[in-house]
Amino acid sequence: MDDVVVVGGGIGGLATALALARKGLGVRVLERSSEFGEVGAGMQIAPNCTRILDAWGLLPEVESLGVRPKNLVMRDAVDGSVLTRLDLDDVQERYEFPYVVIHRSDLHGTLLRACRSAGVDLVTDVKVTGYEQLADGAAAVHAGGREEARVVIAADGLHSVARPLFSDDQPVNSAYVAYRGAVPISAVAGKDVSLEDVVVYVGPQRHFVQYPLRQGEMLNQVAVFESPKALAGQEDWGTPDELDGAFDGSCAQVTEGLPLMWRDRWWRMFDREPLMHWVQGRVALTGDAAHPPLQYLAQGAVMAIEDAWVLSEHAGAHRLPDGGVDWDAALAAYDAVRPEHCRRVLTTARAWGELWHLDGEQRELRNELLRVRDVHDYSFVDWLYGPTALTPDQEPPMFEPQPLGHPVTA
């Protein structure tokens, strides 16, 4: 019997497999697709993630594939004016690790290579359909049989097969739609685009994000808007005409970027209600299976990597004399600390999205408040970027952060 079976070969599943393999455990990953890969474009990894990648010896490779931006800048999507920013050199000095932007496939590839080097058993074409508890373990059930292990970790995403074991909830539809696009830097030559910063333009029921990728060779763009068709329950939601209509009246930097979006695909924005227990017997949730967030804090994949780190640290702290793991104790400790932290991320992301998309007098008030924020005010990011959420014996924080002053982008 394997020590661990991980269901799902995305960023969260591979991070979990790598973290546990580094503790000397035998790990098998079951991926439903015919090959391991990642779709999408750019993503952001803040210091609470790069400190983990550094501990795993992966940060140099990640930095070589990505970009370390100079600032996170928030602008008004209507008039283009600067509202607030984070100086990312100062962020690195404060938190000791950098802020990096990277293509999702590049981070996934780094984790995949590290898993292979660590001896993780990577299995494709396995679609898990259920889970079973065993006397001293659990099993992931699929058409070809079942994979048994001392513990089974479900890293199977928003529509997790394992989540119904914990809750009968459904994904929550925000009615917002995202368009993405990563283009060569040459496509924006002569345009007013920062090639050193992460920039988010916030506007009424919409926002627009730009930042460089792959050592500055590409520009990543994300356009997000509230879809009237989605609100009305229509099936043809999020169409390109809705995209263009949603950004009418935006500043030139935004309107010049819109034609460069991928217009043959778009994504609905979902999250779920916070789930306060992720462990049942020897089955545990991780990543989006446990806590899929809206994108406003850029913490989705980061939280999954944090989950992997915390779970592996508890597994290491509960080793038995025979070399095994007291999984009941390790999983209980994991379940005691991670759900509360991730609940805060989910709820704060929702509040931050509301703040970004204000209109009328509320938009003007938001802009005034953001403009007077001190660039070195970290009172709203210390809880997120600092190391406390990763400490194995950390007690769950007891206060709620407020979103104002927190210019983190999706």
Phi-psi region of 396 (alpha: psi -120 to 50; beta: other; left: phi over 0): beta
* Beta carbons of 398 and 387 less than 8 angstroms apart: no
Place of tokens 């994991």: 334
The two structure tokens encoding residue 329 = 């104790």
Helix (H) or strand (E) holding 298: none
Cα–Cα dist 8/320, whole Å = 28
Question: Amino acid identity of 393?
Answer: D
Cα–Cα dist 65/152, whole Å = 32
Torsion from C-alpha of 147, 153, 155, 158, nearest 10 degrees: 100
Which one from 211, 296, 334, 378 is the annotated catalytic residue? 211
From the number of C-beta atoms within 10 Å of its C-beta (0-12, 13-18, 19+), residue 173 rates as middle
| Annotation marks residue 211 as catalytic | yes
* 137: β partners: 134
How far does the chain reach from its first CA to its final CA, in angstroms?
A: 41
Q: Are strands 145-154 and 2-7 parallel, antiparallel or unpaired?
A: parallel
383 CB contacts (<8 Å, ≥6 apart)? 344, 389, 397, 401
The two structure tokens encoding residue 195 = 């090639």
Query: At 306, is the secondary structure helix, strand, or coil?
Result: helix
CA atoms within 13 A on the CB side of 221: 24
So which residues are the catalytic ones? Answer: 211
